[in-house]
Amino acid sequence: MIRINENYQKLKASYLFADIARRVNAYAAAHPDRPVIRLGIGDVTEPLPRACIEALHAATDEMGQRATFRGYGPEQGYAFLREAIAQHDYAARGCEVAPDEIFVSDGAKCDCANIQEIFAQDARLAIPDPVYPVYLDTNVMAGRTGANVDGRYAGITYLDSTPANGYVPAVPPGPADLIYLCFPNNPTGAVATRAQLAAWVAYARENRAILLYDSAYEAYIRDPQIPHSIYEIPGAREVAIEFRSFSKTAGFTGLRCAYTVVPKTLQASDAAGQGQSVHALWNRRHTTKFNGVAYPIQRAAGGGGNAARPAPTPPRNDILKRPPQQKSGGGAPPRAAAAVSPAAGQEQTRALTDFYLGNAKLIREAVQRLGFTCVGGDNAPYIWVNTGRDSWEFFDLLLSRAQVVCTPGAGFGRCGEGHVRISAFNSRENVAAALERIAAALR
Ligand code: MLT
């Protein structure tokens, strides 16, 4: 009989959020008269910004016309979106990122999960604890760890994030090759200062390591001193890959659009010790395994998520399909992507993140009034509450007494024990009701 990938047997039985969903669904089915409010998984609830909707409609109409219909697009993303990202998300912050260093994809989760496969099997990993489970699980699946003993996999350098270090881990004493970092952090909501990030870049340069920097929540940063991108740190272009997402920025969890930046200056060594371009490897992987994000979705991302005003980019197969005079996007031009100005899209997405941060502030204040300490919620949509109690017990207590779903900290790692994560992604009404119920349940 064919054999399975044994590494999967080292994993916990199910993915954290699937596990929570199962428990919550069971509770809801058993108590249909007690509606549950979900502040667990970080899934957005508010409608898409107007600019995104308008771009989405316009692009869908284009797909209904022969002259503007598009089939396969470039796997790495349309130039209009990559250029807008380079300009708005990087150049505007003084970071040097070229459009062709940006790979548009259907999710930062997938990119964070897949990136490990371009690196050696024996790469030494450093992973925070608590952590977004995807970084760890995908390396377990790939066979880069030993067995799980007492909640920790052999072969990983865990970067403890605790009250003692403000939930921002320092560089480890020993060497590592691949280091996962996430700021603003999921699950803690903690942010790293410029000095802390500079220490990580210095460590990576010294150890010839690569930082895998997840900044999916950067749009929530309000403190002007906090860097939004690892490339704000000098020297990062030689040692860092950055992951970004439109999910939490512009409400795209259901639409799916994200991007990964792989600088052309980033190298990793082959078995002979020769430097190889990581950009070339990721490009090879991406073009082999991915066929691009749907055109209307990229237009929506360009319309709302950043400054994109797309020039009509000819489809990749134009040369085969169209008469010669139409090769450069001639014929009936696609309708302008964003009927609204790009600035309006930026304003609308800012309003969306402001809204969730308003929820976060209410949550922070409420848990502090209840006597708990917490971090996050000021530059992040997550509040990490130090409950001082078993985190699954606390989860069960909130579910059964308040019908509120949070995420138990232990699900994110050993250092998450004693904590729960409360997400600010919900309507104001639901957040207010949840906080009242929590206060009553803990009274
Ligand atoms: C979370 O709740 O941690 C996130 O929604 C998970 C994700 O973005 O995949």
**Is the CB of residue 109 below 6 angstroms from any atom belonging to ligand 1?**
yes
Atom of ligand 1 nearest to the CA of 109: 9
Residue 311 has pLDDT above 50, yes or no: no
Task: Decide if 385 contacts 367 (C-beta within 8 A).
Answer: yes
Tell me the one-letter amino acid at 220: Y
pLDDT at 343: 83
pLDDT > 80? residue 124: yes
pLDDT > 60? residue 342: yes
Ligand 1 atom nearest to CA at 407? 2
Q: How far is CA 247 from CA 181, 254, 260, 287, in A?
A: 19, 8, 14, 23
How many A from CA of 36 to the centre of ligand 1? 19
301 has a pLDDT exceeding 70? yes
Given this model, what pLDDT does residue 334 score? 36
Residue nearest ligand 1's atom 5 by CA: 42
What's the confidence (pLDDT) of residue 436? Answer: 98
Q: Is 42 in the pocket of ligand 1 (CB under 6 A)?
A: yes
pLDDT of residue 306: 46
* Exposure string for 139-169, b = 16+ CB within 10 A, e = fewer: bbbbebbeeeeeebbeebebbbbbeeeebbb
| Least confident interval from 162-171, 249-258, 319-328, 386-395 | 319-328
- Please compute the mean of the pLDDT values over residues 395-420 and round it to a whole number: 97
* Closest ligand 1 atom number to CA of residue 216: 8
- Ligand 1, atom 6, lies closest to the CA of 42
* DSSP per-residue letters across 73-125: --TT--HHHHHHHIIIIIGGGT----GGGEEEES-HHHHHHHGGGGS-TT--E
Mean pLDDT over each residue of the chain, to the nearest integer:
91
- Residue 256 beta carbon below 6 angstroms from any ligand 1 atom: no
Q: What is the mean pLDDT of residues 290-313?
A: 72
Q: 3-class SS at 436?
A: helix
Q: For atom 9 of ligand 1, which residue has the closest CA?
A: 109
Q: What percentage of the chain exceeds 70 in pLDDT?
A: 91
The amino acid present at 415, given as its one-letter code, is C
Nearest protein CA to atom 1 of ligand 1, as residue:
42
CA distance 432 to 424: 11
Three-class SS of 215-262: CCCHHHCCCCCCCCCHHHCCCHHHCEEEEEECHHHHCCCCCCCEEEEC
Mean pLDDT of 144-151: 93
Going by pLDDT thresholds of 50, 70 and 90, the confidence category of residue 4 is very high
Q: Is the pLDDT of residue 337 over 50?
A: no
Ligand 1 contact via 41 beta carbon (within 6 Å)? yes
Any ligand 1 atom below 6 A from CB of 189? no
- Tell me if 152 sits within 8 A of 101, measured CB to CB: no
Instruction: Name the region of 303 (left: φ>0; alpha: ψ -120 to 50; beta: rest).
Output: alpha
Residue 237: CA count within 13 A, CB half-sphere? 13
Each residue's pLDDT tens digit, 359-379: 999 999 999 999 999 999 999
Closest ligand 1 atom number to CA of residue 43: 5
Cα 75 to chain centroid, rounded: 20
Lowest mean pLDDT among 56-65, 225-234, 333-342, 420-429: 333-342
Per the model's pLDDT, the better-predicted residue between 45 and 343 turns out to be: 45
Q: DSSP secondary-structure letter at 325?
A: G
Residue 333 has pLDDT above 80, yes or no: no
**Residue 390: is its pLDDT beyond 80?**
yes
Residue 328 pLDDT exceeds 50? no
323: pLDDT strictly greater than 70: no
Q: How confident is the model at residue 304 (pLDDT cuts 50, 70, 90)?
A: low
Strand pairing class (156-160; 275-277): unpaired
- The arithmetic mean of pLDDT across residues 387-416, rounded, is 97
Q: How confident is the model at residue 12 (pLDDT cuts 50, 70, 90)?
A: confident
